[in-house]
Each structure stands twice: as C-alpha cells, then as structure tokens.
Structure 1
C-alpha cells in the first residue's frame, strides 16, 4: 500500500519548515509508523555523506535521525551548494553533476531532473507508511512556478495535503499567509489544508482573534501555534543560524575560549555544535579582525569556496592576526577547507572552485593543496598518527566523513595528524591532515571529528591544562548522540502539544 503523505510548505525561507518536518517525523515514529522525510531540492552548504559515499543536505539527515532512520539520498535527490551569488554546484543522487548558474538551472536543468525526483519519491512511498515532504522557499514565487520541482508540483504528484507555515517572530505573519494563498493558482490553493503559526512569543489567548480572522479570511483551519524556543538542541541546516550567535570575546576565566571564523561561504559549521554544548567552553563565531581577541583556540572551518574565503581572511586582516596569534602559541585547527588554508600554497588548475588558479596560504603548515576534478565523499574511521605531536597518547578510533575536492601534499616540516584505516567500508591506510612540530597547529579533512565524545573531551582538557585550568573531575563526558535523541524527543513533545494532531492525521486520511 502506498505511503500516506503530508507536505510542509512555508510563506518564505527560514520560517521553520525543516524543523517542523523533523518534529512530524519524530511524532509519527513515536506513534509506531514507518516514516521518512523527503525534500526534492535543497539549497545548503551544510551537507553530509551517507554510508555509500553519497552527499545530501543535512536537514534531511536530521529529519531521518528523528524518524529513526539512516539517511538516504532518496530523501534529498537534488542538492544545490552555492558557489557564488548566482551559481551552485548541483549534486544529483549524491554525486556532483556540475556548476550551474541560476538561470541555466531553472531554464534548462530543473525540468530534466523531475523524473529523478519522482523516482526517489516513489521509492520512499513504496517502503514507508508515511512520507513527510518539505518544500523550499515559498510556493508563491510566481517567477519560479513554471520550473518548480520542490513545492506544489511535488504535492500534486502524490496528492499530498499541504500545511502552510508562517514565522510570526519576523512580523507580518497574517499578511504573508493571506498573500501566499492569493498568489497560488486555484488548484494549488485548494491543496493547502492547514496553517501553522511558528515561533510565537507571549500569551496565546491574545492571539485567538487573529486565528479566527485567518480561518474566516482563508477558509483554511489553523492547525496550531508553535511557541518560539531556543533551548532544544537541533542541528541547524543553514549558515543563517550562526548570524545570531554571539561573537564577543571573554568569559568568566574558567572556560576554554574558542573562536570559529565566520567565513562568507562557511560549510558544515555543525562540526562545532558539540564544542558549543560543552559547559566549560565559550564558543563564538568571528567575522572581523577586531572581534578576534585572544582565544585559546582558533578554528578555521570548511568552505564551499576555499580560495575566495582565504582571500577574505587576507583582505580583512584576519589572516595576519591568526598568524600572529599562532606565533604566540595560540592553538589553531583547520577542518577541510580551513585545513587547506593553513598551508603554503593552494592551486586550482582546473578552476574547480574559483577562477583564481594559485594563491599563497596562511603559511602555518608546510604543505600545499591542489584541487582536483573529482570530489571525495566518504565515511571514514581513523586513528591518531603514531608519531603525533599533539595526541600521542590517544588511541581510540575516530569516525567522521570527508567532502573535499583538494589533495594535500605534505612538506618535510610537518607530520600527518591521522591515519584513515576504513574508508567507505573498505580497509585502507591513508594519511590525513597535518601538524606542526609543536602540535599547536593542525588540520584534517575529517568532518564530524568533534562528534567523537572522548576525543573532544581530550582536546578540551589539553587546552584547559595549557591555560592552567584544573581538568580533574571538572567535566562529565557528554554523549553527542544521546543529546541529539533527547532533542528530537523534546521537539516532538513541544510540537505534538502545539498542533491539532487529530486534524493532521485526518488530513492524511489516517
């Protein structure tokens, strides 16, 4: 029997579609159903690599985890990774296709991808009881309706009832709901079966007249009002989320201060969520030289365009500030693109990431990176290199994943940081990363390395010891996985009590 479906669309981007989709996945999972998420086309720099080496959007990974599933690219068959203001790398079924301008994608490619989208959706509908579908942006963008493969065209394909979400915290929620419905063609307007008001603050009884107005004006029931929250741990999918994070230096003196560089094209910033969750860490995102201060650790994150973001560091003076602090003994870590920036030189002979073919790096590690045509995407297991300068006593295997175009060659003044012994399920012996003689500057291609709880704690204890802080009995080992699952449960409880779930089930004819 084909799966029942329900679709979550929004009046705009960033109204909370992804997190509400995750909530519904968890609720249906708790209620005993086999449920899967689906988003035909996602645009994000935060991506993940599945067990078979396929790349997909992190939002659908979060939703799969909430549903108790391992992620699959069928849940996100098309991923757009922006490379510039009007161009993206197009990833189809987990593999990069090519870079396309927005014009070429919408006018030429999107329609050709429709059969791939429907095939992925059909496979999910054949395997699960419920498929929760997420839209993108707004379905009322009339200039894109003819080439749409992510909103109403998907709803029409599987006859999915649509829940329309509006963000009341940004203001104008009532107008955005009414305006969105007015701009939809009559047939699509009829597909909207419920309205959700998201991120509500204050006394909900005072909002009741607005609910009555919306229902009378639109003829569509309000399924619920979800309160604003910021105390439930759910990984963010988009770098917009870090714009609200604090960047002020200084703490109470008893914490390790970590500065993550806020690169313009930052990717996979969820690498640092586990660090931010530690009670003895003060983590901040820094995009300006005058905000850098004197942290205990500087992290240069991944980037979708490493060379362009390296130029940004140089133009803003951050590159010089980082080099100065590194000479003073401040620890510096680079992840993926950030690791590549630590070297002497970066070369892009095929113009894979940028029109710039060669650029000098930060010069903190004796190595060079050459960008290749093929992307490496794989889940890995690794161990600390035997002659490591900074973690010689750490021998627990680490897990993570690789997403990179570059190949890095080490010079004589550095040593590898890790050895990858399993890649995509196969036993290998591959050197990864690099470290300087003092062990104060190191980098790796492994994303998710701080998700390894004991490793993360070991790094933090080393930093605390270096700072002169007590490391004995001061911190409890936090399980990243347990924290994730607890977050999904708390989210489901909040949304379950905010929505009329009987109505939601009725809309799905269940």
Structure 2
C-alpha cells in the first residue's frame, strides 16, 4: 500500500462529508496529485453505471463516488464504492458487491451472512486504489460514533483500520450543538480510531467567524484536536447521495425557482414514491432559472405545469401505492407534459407482468397508469450500463434531436403492445405518445439539448414566456474545491 488515505468522517448524516470529499478530490487533482475517491459501504438508491474494476462489463456505485471521481478527473469504477446497499422497502435491501447485484436480504441477514465478505471486498478495492494513486479520499457514512455499530462499521471504523487512514471529522453547525457533537463523537470513538483523528472541520457556518472563535478555542482545549477549518454555508450544486435533503414523503416541498416570479416560472411536479431511486435525475431541472421542482405525495393533486416520474427500487409495489393513492387518476386527467424515467416509464405503461419477481407480493400482473401503450415484463436479469443514444425529437422533447448520454440500471424490458401506435424516441427504446414520454435513460436532463427542449415545451404548454436562457455556471466541482481551500491540510502531510 503506497497511497495516503484520508477518511472524511462525520458527526452525523448530511453534515457535508460528500461535498468536502469531492472538494478535496478536485483541489488535489488540480495540484497534480493522483487522487481517487472511496466509500467502502454506501446505502443509496441513487446509483450510476460504471466500469467494473474486477472484470469485464459494468456495475453500480453510489452517485457520490461517481461525482467524486469526476471531481478527481478520473473515470469512475466499482472500486470507488465496492459495497452498495439499495433499500427496496419492508426492511430489505439489495446487496451489490464490486458492482454486481448479489441478492435481497433483511439487515440481520446481511450482518450475519454477508458482512465478512463485504469487508473483504472493500479492503481489496482499497488496496487496488492505493496501489495506483498517491492519495485516497475515503468518505464515511452517517456518524462515525454509532456505538451500536462499532463492531461492524465498515464505512467508518473498519475503513480507518484497513486503510491506515488519517481522519478528518466533519461537523455541521447549522442545526446547532456543533461543539457538543464534536466532543461526544470523539469521546465515543474506540481509542485506536480516536488516535487517528487529525482535525475537525465545521461546515455550513453563517455569520461572523469571531463569534465562533471562543467555542473553537474551548473545544480544542477539551479534546486536544484542532479545528482545521470553518466552511461557510454554500451548496456547490453536487448531486445528492440520498433523499435526506428532500421533503418528507408525506409533505410537499419545492426546490429551484431561482427567484423568478410566478409569471416567469413553471412548476414540475415529482410524485414521491415510497421506494424512489435516482431522484438526482431531476436536479438538473431545478437548476434551470425559472423551473420549480415540487415533490408531492401520491395522494395530492398534480397542481403543476409538468410531471416527472422518477425511478423506483420496487416498481411493482410503488405502482400499487400510486394506484391506491390516486396518482393514476391524476395522471390520466393531467393535460401538461409528462416524462417517466426508468421505473417511472414502466409505471406509465399499461401493465407490469411477472410482477412477483420485482414486487414483494404474489401478484403476477399489476396495472400501470395506461398513458403509454407498452407492457413491462420483469426478469431476474439486470441491465447495468452507461449508454449513448441518438434522440429523435418526439413527445414533450419534440424539439430535441441529437446524441444524448446517460446510463441504464433496471430489471425488466418495456415493449409496445401489438398494433400499438407509439413513437420510439431511441432505436429500440423508450416510448412517446402525445405529450407523454418514457425512457430507461437515467441522466436524460443532464444533456442540455434534452433539458432545454423539455423546459421550452413546459413553458409553451403553460402559456408563459421563458426568462433568459440558461447560461454557463461555475463547475460544482470547482465550487466545492473553493470551499475546502479553507481547510488546513498540513497535518495530513500531503
């Protein structure tokens, strides 16, 4: 092992670990350092398809490590996130090792049957990265001080040990109690890992730094650990790793809008599926000036100008929930543009067959919303691959024509019903009918030509004038790097 590893650990979930890790990756890469991201174990339904490091083909990793690899200016591989848990509801998750889906299991079964294998998989992946890079930026998960998990904390304690990592502890001041969380975290760490903590960074600070200084002096005195930086509150615009930052599933919430008034804005409704996945697909829309993305419960009216259905880790069970909640009825009455992505595309069809493979019940067929004349048939074979497609303009993307790229992660295939009159936006893939569009392509709206065509269509359908066109913005990776410039990295001897 030759690389130095820094474990970016947290006092809690959603304290800014992913942003700090991505910023360090970009900052070090810009200094000419060969750097790679790593997260031993991730739990997220926001995944990307990347090259497998241990063989041919493609596999899945969490979106944050894909983002961090981009920040490090290297291609993402499954070594960057060798263990991925994808929750599917009812206490079960799908285990993905080295990018390959293994099986579904309950939490107890994972720790009893698979954890040792997962640890070995993660350690081997880290060894490969350490052998080919100068620095590995490892991201922890949740809090490093969850004492109920200390014997099996793969992403935090075990990573610190097998990677011989120095630890940078991240604490969020926005919610208050930052000094108590720092002190409590350090007190609860096992001695061998506590000795690895080189310093603390405080994130999401607003206001006058001098007011914070007495607290910093006292916490350094109490713990003997230096505060190496205080980062201001800022969102660089990196994709979210999970749904923690989204509104609660049973309540509406809005992101985006960019300060425009109602006469210049449009609203895109995103129904909140109980088992939603790859919700990051809608984030590019929320960054467009004038576009508001509103998350709505399944039993709420679709009071919006357009609808986007995201992916779901369990399409069958979410189809049943959508029907029972009244979403199907709302979709059938909706008069604006509708786009379904992956599981959302499957839900727009007429029927989901072989449903027992995907769902938790015994039903062999479940009804879809019936807005696209297609049928989805599930199989146990899983498609995982990055793709490039030639988009033929149709449906709400009628003005988009050209090459788009993204990735596919799905079980089942969707085909037109016999004699169905349906447009195919890609060669052999997707479907469009009127103002309804469905595709398996994740990352569709990351492509500017598709994003712009859809937003133009939404404004036209709403009868509003669109504000100034989307302009170039600073890279979110560069913004993250700018944030971490405030961290004193001298203790890490990079």
TM-score, length-normalised on structure 1?
0.89
Secondary structure in structure 2 of the residue aligned to 1:54: strand
- Does the CA-based 8 Å contact 1:267-1:303 persist in structure 2? yes
User: Secondary structure at the residue paired with 1:355?
Assistant: coil
Structure-2 residue corresponding to 1:270: 280
**2:54 — aligned with what?**
none
| Equivalent residue number for residue 304 of structure 1 | 313
1:261 aligns with 271
Cα shift readout 1:308-330 (whole Å, capped 9, x = no counterpart): 222222232222112111xxx32
For residue 349 of structure 1, report the CA deviation from its aligned partner.
Answer: 4.6
How far the C-alpha of 1:392 sits from its partner, in A, is 5.9
Question: Judging changes above 3 Å, is the alpha-carbon distance between structure 1 residues 470 and 211 closer, same or farther for their aligned structure 2 residues?
Answer: closer
SS across alignment from 1:488: helix
In the alignment, which residue of structure 2 is the partner of 1:83?
Answer: 88
1:394 and 1:171 map into 2 onto residues whose CA distance is: 47
1:320 aligns with 2:329: yes
Alpha-carbon shift at residue 139 of structure 1 (Å): 2.5
Q: CA deviation at 1:301?
A: 0.8
CA RMSD in angstroms, aligned pairs only: 2.3
The secondary structure found in structure 2 opposite 1:239 is coil
- The verdict on how the C-alpha distance between 1:348 and 1:182 changes in structure 2, with shifts beyond 3 A counting, is farther
Answer yes or no: is the 8 Å Cα contact 2:8–2:140 preserved in 1. yes
Give the match for residue 424 of structure 2. Answer: 417
SS in 2 for 1:156: helix
Q: Write the distance in 2 (CA, Å) between the matches of 1:354 and 1:303.
A: 14
- Contact persistence 2:289–2:470 (CA under 8 A): no
Partner of 1:426: none
Q: Which whole-Å CA distance do the structure 2 matches of 1:202 and 1:391 have between them?
A: 44
Identify if the C-alpha distance between structure 1 residues 283 and 350 changes in structure 2 by more than 3 Å, giving closer, same or farther: closer
Match of 1:428 in 2: none
Match of 1:467 among 462, 472, 484: 462
Q: Which residue of 1 aligns with 2:437?
A: 442
Give SS of 2:358's match.
Answer: coil
1-side partners of 2:293 and 2:355: how far apart?
A: 36
Structure 2 gaps, min length 5: 52-56
2:243 to 239, 254, 278: 239
SS in 1 for 2:207: coil
In structure 1, the residue matched to 2:34 is: 34
1:134-155 CA distance string (max 9 Å, x none): 1112232222222222212211
> Aligned residue for 2:68?
63
Kindly tell me: are residues 134 and 11 of structure 1, through their superposed partners in 2, closer, same or farther at Cα, counting changes over 3 Å? same
Instruction: Between 241-250 and 263-272, report the one with greater CA deviation.
Output: 241-250
Q: Which secondary structure state, in structure 1, belongs to the residue aligned with residue 66 of structure 2?
A: helix
User: 1:141-178 CA deviation, whole Å, 9 max, x = no partner?
Assistant: 22222222221221111321111111121222222222
C-alpha contact 1:350 1:372 (8 A) present in aligned 2: no
- Structure 2 distance, partners of 1:390, 1:138, is 43
Distance in 2, matches of 1:247 and 1:453, equals 19
The question of whether the paired residues in 1 share the 8 Å contact of 2:351 and 2:376 is answered with yes
2:482 pairs with 1:476: no
**Match of 1:246, SS?**
strand
Q: Does residue 493 of structure 2 align to residue 493 of structure 1?
A: no
Counterpart contact for 1:365–1:414, Cα < 8 Å = no
* Cα distance change, pair 72–392 in 1 and its aligned pair in 2 (3 A): same
Deviation at 1:435, TM superposition (A): 1.8
Q: CA deviation at 1:29?
A: 1.2
| CA apart distance, 1:75 | 0.5
Tell me if the contact between 2:47 and 2:62 (Cα under 8 Å) persists in the aligned partners. Answer: yes
SS in 1 for 2:445: helix
Q: Which whole-Å CA distance do the structure 2 matches of 1:174 and 1:393 have between them?
A: 54
The one of 106, 109, 128 aligned to 1:104: 109
Please give the alpha-carbon distance, in whole angstroms, between the structure 1 residues aligned to 2:255 and 2:465.
26
Q: Work out the CA distance in 2 between the residues paired with 1:74 and 1:265.
A: 26
Please list every run of 5 or more consecutive structure 1 residues that lacks an aligned counterpart in the other structure: 421-430
Q: Is the 8 A contact 2:6 2:138 kept in 1?
A: yes
CA contact (8 A) 2:268 2:291 kept: yes
Task: Tell me, yes or no, if the aligned pair for 1:278 and 1:478 is still in contact at 8 Å.
Answer: no
* Aligned-residue offset at 1:469: 4.0
**Count of residue pairs brought into register by the alignment:** 481
Q: What are the residue-to-residue correspondences of 1:139-218 with 2, within 5 Å?
A: 139-218=144-223
Q: Which moved more, 1:265-274 or 1:121-130?
A: 265-274
- In the alignment, the residues of structure 2 paired with residue 319 and residue 391 of structure 1 have an alpha-carbon distance, to the nearest angstrom, of 22
Q: How far apart are residue 60 of structure 1 and its match?
A: 0.3
Counting only pairs closer than 5 Å after superposition, residues 283-298 of structure 1 correspond to structure 2 as 283-287=293-297, 289-290=299-300, 292-293=302-303, 295-298=304-307
Give distance in 2, aligned partners of 1:336 and 1:303: 8
Distance in 2, matches of 1:161 and 1:247, equals: 36
Alpha carbons 1:307, 1:356 under 8 Å: kept: no
Work out whether residues 247 and 291 of structure 1, in 8 Å CA contact, stay in contact via their aligned partners in 2: no
Write the deviation string for residues 383-430 of structure 1: whole angstroms up to 9, x where unpaired.
2358x566566431221111110211211334243224xxxxxxxxxx
Q: Which residue of 1 aligns with 2:5?
A: 5
Aligned mates of 1:55, 1:69 — CA distance in 2: 17
Offset of residue 464 of structure 1 = 2.7
